[in-house]
Amino acid sequence: MGILIVDDSPDQQVLLRAFLEKSGHTDLLSADSAKAAFPMLDMDGLEPPTRIDLILMDVLMPEMDGVEACRQIKGRPHLSDIPIIMVTAKNDHSNLQAAFAAGAIDYITKPVNSVELLARVASALALKKEMDCRKAREGELRRSNDELQKALRDVKVLRGLIPICASCKKIRNDGGFWQQLEEYIGEHSEAEFSHGICQHCVKKLYPGVYPD
């Protein structure tokens, strides 16, 4: 699973990479600012990036700080499920409330402890994996439901050769019995009937109503 490190300090990037690589995380990306990270995330896209499952975001960065970057990332629907862990100096605790309000799920204090880092990363990646599985299940359920609804609609569509009496217009059903046209259609479709009498039949049945 991929991890994006966003930090303006090259030394901090090297340190985080060393800890993560030593633990077996090899799919790592780095950016020295939020501006550099946004293209990697495809902020204006529709699908989440395939290589990024977690973001380690420094709080104090020039131009745009990590809290605002977190808020903008979480504001994109296709990126909202990517967990963000804030990396903060010990005296930056005042920013943590704003970071959590912006959508961050956890934080790590500087100087970074490798045990703490790896534990929090493992927890965040497990959460992301579970969220991905849940979304996949939901998608499969939606597809199954769509297929079921289509099948039900198809069942109600009249198709094929329908035996109909040339005289009384009754239809022979699958059991060999003759049914009224409206009864047969009602059983094999979603149609409902509202009975009336057309003008031609009114003239035939009640010749005095409409003069020729």
pLDDT digits (tens, 9 = 90+) for 121-167: 999 999 999 988 988 898 888 888 888 887 776 666 666 778 888 88
Which of 115, 139, 163 corresponds to the end of one domain?
139
Confidence of residue 190 (pLDDT cuts 50, 70, 90): confident
Which of 139, 164, 182 corresponds to the end of one domain?
139
Q: Which of 152, 17, 189 is nearest to 87 (CA)?
A: 17
Does residue 147 belong to any structural domain of this protein? no
Tally of structural domains, the chain: 2
For the sheet with 3-6, list strands across it: 28-31, 3-6, 54-58, 84-89, 106-110
| Identity of residue 99 | A
Residues 56 and 9 in one domain: yes
Residues 75 and 16 in one domain: yes
| Separation CA 9–CA 114 (nearest Å) | 18
Residues 8 and 101 in one domain: yes
Per the CB < 8 A criterion, the answer to whether 16 and 56 are in contact is yes
Domain, as residue range, for 181: 155-212
Does residue 27 belong to any structural domain of this protein? yes
Which of 93, 111, 139 corresponds to the end of one domain?
139
Rg of the chain (C-alpha set): 33
Residues 121 and 57 in one domain: yes
pLDDT digits (tens, 9 = 90+) for 151-163: 776 666 666 778 8
Residues 165 and 111 in one domain: no
pLDDT digits (tens, 9 = 90+) for 67-121: 999 999 999 999 999 999 999 987 677 788 899 999 999 999 999 999 999 999 9
Entry pTM: 0.68
